[in-house]
Amino acid sequence: MTAMKRMMVGFALAATACAGATGMAQVAGAQDAPPAAERPVYDLGPPYLGGQPIPGTEALVPPPPEQGSARQRQDAEANARALTLADTPRRALALEDASLAPGWFDAAFSCAAGVSLTDANTPAIARLVRRAAADFAISTSAVKARYSRPRPFVANGAPTCTPRDEAALAQNGSYPSGHSALGWGTGLVLASVFPDRASELVARGRAFGDSRAICNLHWQSDVEEARVIASATLARLSSDPQFIADLAAAQAEARELATAARPGAGQCRQLADALQAG
């Protein structure tokens, strides 16, 4: 069972067991899944769009670069540069960005938002992010299945940020990156919640996707084309009544956060330094 299929099973279980809930950590599993201690944990909620990518995603992006093409050479050059970042703060941040376990959006986006994005501090925003992130994560699955592009670590044999995931990821297409779509889409959603922090949030969403290339888990074109699919998915979400309602609730909550808890200055300075290092 591929990583994406396990994730889809987790979403289905969440929709069945947690309908109407604020959101919780979703543990993917099925009859042929690994033991509970080995299963990946995804802190995502039930997707707004029924657990399917929007129709026609295959038409949104070109086929992956062919071997020997100029674009594939650019991917290889970008990959070589990424591999030089081993043992740097930027690579350490890429490892943090690889996790979608509980607290992922707080760790990734609170500094950009200027507010601690936790269930206690921002419950409406947390609900919106969890549910929309599930849609963004799923958004690339149809294109992945169509092309089944091998991931860079399969081609170059170099280590990744998440060696325990490599066996599963080797069976899951590289193009486009679902994780990058999730990061880009989350940045866009949060920019709508905190419009005065839009530049910081979109930049962080972009960096979240770039972390996949730095981790040797995706080619640069996988990351870039994922943004196109995530943007189209957000356009579709923007006509969904429940998303509209949750976005309005999140925006109202954000307007009341003048005295809310802020992320630590040291944490944000360390994150900024890591991004500059990349």
Residues that are catalytic: 179, 212, 218, 222
Helix (H) / strand (E) element for 26: namely strand 26-27
In three-state secondary structure terms, 42 is strand
In the block, which residue shows the tokens 């309602």?
245
- Report yes or no: 164 and 75 within 8 Å, Cβ to Cβ: no
Give the distance from CA 260 to its chain's centroid: 26
| Start-to-end Cα distance in the chain | 34
CA neighbours closer than 13 Å in the CB half-sphere of residue 137: 26
Residue 187 CB-half CA count within 13 A = 23
Phi-psi bin for 242: left (phi > 0), alpha (psi -120 to 50), beta? alpha
27 DSSP assignment: E
What six digits make up the tokens of 197? 């922090």
Q: Which token pair is 267?
A: 């944490």
